[in-house]
Structure 1
């Protein structure tokens, strides 16, 4: 696929004005508008996406040890990999002009496609080296018989700072799946270092490993593990199927980590402690899963989910090294959130040096198009771009302190009991927060506050002031009385509101979920197929007690619960329900909701009318809720200062 020139991109962006679209009038059938005319209508300002065209899986991230720049890669137009780079996790610059590719398909190993890969920063000859999936046969799907050798793992090296990855003139370094294994897939290699794994399998400290994601037909999804041998990164020893789960099984009852599916994709392995990345820390995995809630037929559309797990490593008697989860959860609850890829960002990087951040693991989640490919009738030609990467997220091991040790704690969920007594417990889970630099930039824009308010009546109450734009951050805290635990309460906010459209975000205790009601999110859905299904994700608000003295000493950053002053009269009691701490980010058509440093949900909203910027309180009239600490930061910023306007 030929990328458009910069001039063609500019012409497409100017087409919106030429089309004379009136955003104060009802929307037309969008597919009847000129090509490129909707380029700016829903385009975000601060999210990673190329200048033009379709973005796919994030992959091939790395921090360049020579420059300290962090490279964020992604599949582009289904043809190859492109990338942007950043020195602050706020502003991004195209690695190649016009978003041109850093690697494309068409070599001896990859005649048909280049799939995901990951980078060893000091690889072959000391240069950044990409281990990626080279594809020689299509189609590939977990419901189809697998053609052995269709996916292999090959090497490419950059000698020019990441502008081009040159494929090594040699066969794939991992040419085929393990012998005698009928795999569902064999792709998305991820390279990493892990002290626990070194000790478990007797490797030298600092050994590089690679996982390849897939599964086994008739058995279930899995991850295959390899160990590098020698300095050239061309010899990879197979250590076995490191992790496997029964087909379409669940973690616990499935409420907190959905289902394992039939096939794993994009597995990332990394080590975390309470501060962030630590090669000596606990082993975590993020992974995409493909499964189905319906009977399986050849060519069926998969259910996708983006999960995480943490656990222990061991070598069972007579077996190979294995990973055993001890807790699992959802990295992003959005139906379109998938294919996360992350990378170690050292304290020596430019971004971390500027912010004073420690070693971190930064992950980007792909916000795909409607139903992973665009709904039929979606105005793709008119928009001229599709999908984005969600905001960079810092992952760490998160502690939940001062928890009442009751039945809410003992369930198999996305947490684990670290300490407990007869009455109190300290829990651990994965912490998920917006990268501190990104958060600080978003909340450095003009702001206004809303006075705290207690609601008990059904309906909506407008904020005293609305954002001037569809680019804003809303921070808020919601506190509930103990009686809410068994009630039908629903409470939150309506955003992007006008008389004709709005999106409602609320928490409900009936299934312990944050709900995004998009049924009225866009008037354009009345004329054009747009996905407006309601989405939701589970978040347990635990019972907390001031009697418990287990105090979380981990450090947070801007946007975390630790750094917000609480004014909560409902916490005067010794025991109380954990406060819901919300950060809502609206970047035109992208909505991301973060809660309590351990929940994230990204989705599309696509409001049409120019005046759809209002914010209101929402309450369904059951019980009462206290809203406090509400601040709106309006305008966001331009993440692409070098791109044509």
Structure 2
């Protein structure tokens, strides 16, 4: 467990590129964090992606925006220069996270791009420190040349600080978009009204988002409407929904529609100030526990309905109820920022993956920190005629909207999170290998070697598990003899999907290799035409890029993690099935198909 391997490769492999991904967006050097102003410009047919960047060093500080552009969300051109930098008195200490629209300040479309951002002139800022009013203000910049250069407006800052009736924990990260459901609540035109939200919290009360309506004739005028949610401190419905924390960052809203179903209003939020659970038993090694930074934050989503405002003045209006929610990513993914992609007519998310598992010595040695995750598409997933979930009561799964039908079955709906379809372009020059129709009994294994070994690959696996099969495992080998590996497994008895990194051969025993876990269950549905009960297929899709692993399970559970292996490449996959019962050789896993594409983007 947790192999420690001395750093024997520092002389032969450049530290800068050892764990540096090839097809993820990164700054050219230095520290980076939150994605900023993701946007598709229909005039130029280009995607824009900003990110928080310290071009002067490899630690947080001197925050400006970096910039990347792409025609397809796969091949990116990253600028060597800052895109939006602190140079005014009101933003001298930082240009923090923001958003973009193709409206000018008069609400017109004339080729102007407009960015709203958090301008910072006082540090430190933290949810657990006393808040200094005016430390975070709202500012705006416009571009007349398709986002090449920006002009900060003389009216900045357009808002001097949060609503004064609240003692806030933070007030930042503007997000602007139409929100038809909220417009309907206020009796406003749902196709033109713009709302803006800023993220934060009310001290000793709740994390929340502060909601504003924008004047469509003057986008510098924002009118406060109320707080979006009042969920309380560290609200925790169940392990399926996560800890709401005490402060939110980078909150986004979206209404998901389609398939003739009722819309789902969703809030995406990055939650801080979590309660750290006490482990059942102390890990045998310190690097089997996540860092304090990692344990203090999580990426969440919630859904609810809007509440009609009370008549008369209401300075403490709460606009949205909290009815269900979940964990958007169960790993090292944070600060999700979204945009509407008209090419697929879906909302697309980017997130930030940090280097929380690396000790500072190794992080500084490599000269860079962090990256943007692959683009993900939001939708909803509906399972009909559900009769049960394996090993967990249906109504305990609080990440689903559950409706009982007259026949006693349930319709269940939740947020779906899937890789963007454009990611198939990564396969253009890849090598394809596959397994088809393999039956695994207890103790069996099937190996699919990677030939040649690769550090950029995609794996898809579809498998049906009979009721005696309590565990299905995929091992990703890091060495020729497969003794060093990362394990992905579904544990039915615990209703859990796990990424076990304890057998990863690290270069330093302070590299964190704690497991990544997510609640997950397979559902059984009644097939009325066949009069049969059928459990859904387990579907795993994973992307690996040098050191970042992103795993999608049935397009409703996602885990992002980092694999800081001593070895540069992966050598193959092993598929295994087992039972909790001793001497039970009848546990069956029917692997319908495994497809592995290595050499993504021509590694």
Q: Deviations over 1:388-440 (max 9, x none)?
A: 11110110122123422677432351111256233322221111110001135
**Range that drifts further, 306-315 or 612-621:** 612-621
Post-superposition CA distance 1:442-465 (Å, at most 9, x none): 377221112433333347542265
Question: Is contact 1:408-1:542 (8 Å) kept?
Answer: no
Say if 2:544 is the partner of 1:589.
no
Question: Unpaired segments of 5 or more residues in structure 1?
Answer: 1-24, 347-351, 550-571, 640-645
- Contact 2:505 / 2:565 at 8 angstroms: preserved in 1? yes
Tell me the residue number matched to 1:396.
379
Contact 2:177 2:195 in 1 (8 A): yes
Asked if 2 retains the 8 angstrom alpha-carbon contact of 1:223 and 1:244, the reply is: no
1:39 is paired with a residue whose SS is helix
Report the 3-state secondary structure (helix = DSSP H, G, I; strand = E; otherwise coil) of the residue aligned with 1:439: helix
CA shift for structure 1 position 310: 1.8
How much does 1:316 deviate?
Answer: 4.6
Q: Is the 8 A contact 1:226 1:238 kept in 2?
A: yes
Matches of 2:491 and 2:165 in 1, distance apart?
Answer: 49
Alignment equivalent of 2:574, drawn from 605, 616, 627: 616
Q: Which moved more, 1:130-139 or 1:105-114?
A: 105-114
Given candidates 485, 491, 513, the residue that maps to 1:508 is 491
Q: Does 1:368 align with 2:354?
A: yes
1:54 aligns with 31
2: distance between equivalents of 1:573 and 1:516?
36
> How far 1:194 moved relative to its partner?
1.2
User: 1:448 aligned to 2:433?
Assistant: yes
CA–CA distance in structure 2, aligned partners of residues 604 and 204 of structure 1: 45
SS at match of 1:234: strand
Distance 1:360 1:546 in 2: 30
Q: Does 1:268 align with 2:252?
A: yes
| Cα pair distance change 1:327/1:439, threshold 3 Å | farther
Aligned to 1:306, which of 294, 299, 311? Answer: 299
Distance 2:564 2:204 in 1: 41
- What do residues 608-630 of structure 1 show as CA deviations (whole Å, max 9, x unaligned)? 22564221123445333222211
Supply the distance in 1 between the matched residues of 2:531 and 2:442 (Cα, whole angstroms): 24
Q: Which residue of the partner structure matches residue 564 of structure 1? A: none
Is the deviation greater in 76-85 or in 619-628?
619-628
Greater strand fraction, Structure 1 or Structure 2: 2
The more displaced of 588-597 and 417-426 is 417-426
CA contact (8 A) 1:456 1:621 kept: no
Alpha-carbon contact 1:417-1:427 (below 8 Å) kept: yes
Could you list the runs of 5+ residues in structure 2 that have no partner in the other structure? 55-60, 278-291, 581-586
**Helix, strand or coil: the match of 1:510?**
helix
2:229 aligned residue (240, 243, 255): 243
After superposition, the Cα gap between the structure-2 partners of 1:444 and 1:537, relative to the gap in structure 1 and judged at 3 Å, is farther
Counterpart of 1:47 in 2: which secondary structure? coil
Distance (whole Å) between structure 1 residues aligned to residue 596 and residue 384 of structure 2: 29
DSSP-derived class of the 2:590 partner: strand
What is the distance in 2 between the residues matched to 1:601 and 1:294?
19
- Match in the other structure for 1:625: 589
Which of 188, 207, 211 is 1:225 aligned to? Answer: 211
- Equivalence map 1:177-326=2 (5 Å): 177-205=162-190, 206-250=192-236, 252=237, 254-274=238-258, 281-294=263-276, 301=293, 303-318=296-311, 319=314, 320=317, 322-326=319-323
Contact kept? 1:507, 1:513, Cα under 8 Å: yes
Residues 92 and 612 of structure 1: is their aligned pair in 2 closer, same or farther, counting only changes over 3 Å?
closer
Distance 1:419 1:441 in 2: 42
Q: Quick one: distance in 2 between partners of 1:525 and 1:439?
A: 35
**After TM superposition, which residue ranges in structure 1, 4 or more long, deviate above 4 angstroms?**
464-467
SS at match of 2:459: strand
1:371-450 to 2 correspondences below 5 Å:
374-381=358-365, 383-404=366-387, 408-418=393-403, 420-442=405-427, 445-450=430-435
Report deviation, 1:275.
6.5
Report if the CA contact (8 A) 1:501-1:612 is conserved: no
Number of paired residues? 560
TM-superposed CA distance for 1:257, in Å, is 1.5
Q: Deviations over 1:106-131 (max 9, x none)?
A: 31211111110111221326411111
Q: Does 1:598 align with 2:556?
A: yes
Shift of residue 532, structure 1, vs aligned partner: 0.9
* Mapped partners of 1:326, 1:467: distance in 2: 49
Helix, strand or coil for the counterpart of 2:7? coil
User: Shift in Å at residue 324 of structure 1?
Assistant: 1.4
Matches within 5 A, 1:67-82: 67-77=44-54, 78=61, 79-82=63-66
Residue 429 and residue 525 in structure 1: after superposition, are their counterparts in 2 closer, same or farther (change >3 A)? same
* Residue aligned with 1:322, SS: coil
Q: 2:284 maps to which residue? A: none
Structure 1 length-normalised TM = 0.81
- SS at the partner of 2:271? strand
Write the distance in 1 (CA, Å) between the matches of 2:40 and 2:105. 16
Q: Distance in 2 between matches of 1:308 and 1:543?
A: 25
Q: In 1, are the aligned partners of 2:299 and 2:330 still within 8 Å (CA)?
A: yes
- Report what 1:349 is aligned to: none
Partner of 2:84: 103
**Is the Cα contact below 8 Å between 1:63 and 1:121 reproduced in 2?**
no
Partner of 1:84 in structure 2? 68
Q: Report the CA distance between 1:483 and its aligned residue.
A: 4.1
Match of 1:545 in 2: 526
1:513 and 1:264 mapped to 2: Cα distance? 27
CA distance in 2, matches of 1:367, 1:169: 35
State whether structure 2 residue 315 is matched by structure 1 residue 333: no
Q: Of the candidates 164, 168, 171, which is equivalent to residue 153 of structure 2?
A: 168
More displaced stretch, 158-167 vs 406-415: 406-415
C-alpha separation in 2, matches of 1:245 and 1:47: 35
Secondary structure in 2 matching 1:400: strand
Q: CA deviation at 1:531?
A: 1.8
User: Please, what is the CA RMSD of the aligned residues?
Assistant: 2.7
Q: Contact between 1:86 and 1:93, CA under 8 Å: does it hold in 2?
A: yes
Q: CA 1:481 to 1:421, structure 2 compared with 1: closer, same or farther past 3 Å?
A: farther
1:467, 1:324 → 2: CA distance? Answer: 53
Contact 2:449 2:572 in 1 (8 A): no
Alpha-carbon offset, residue 45 of structure 1: 1.6
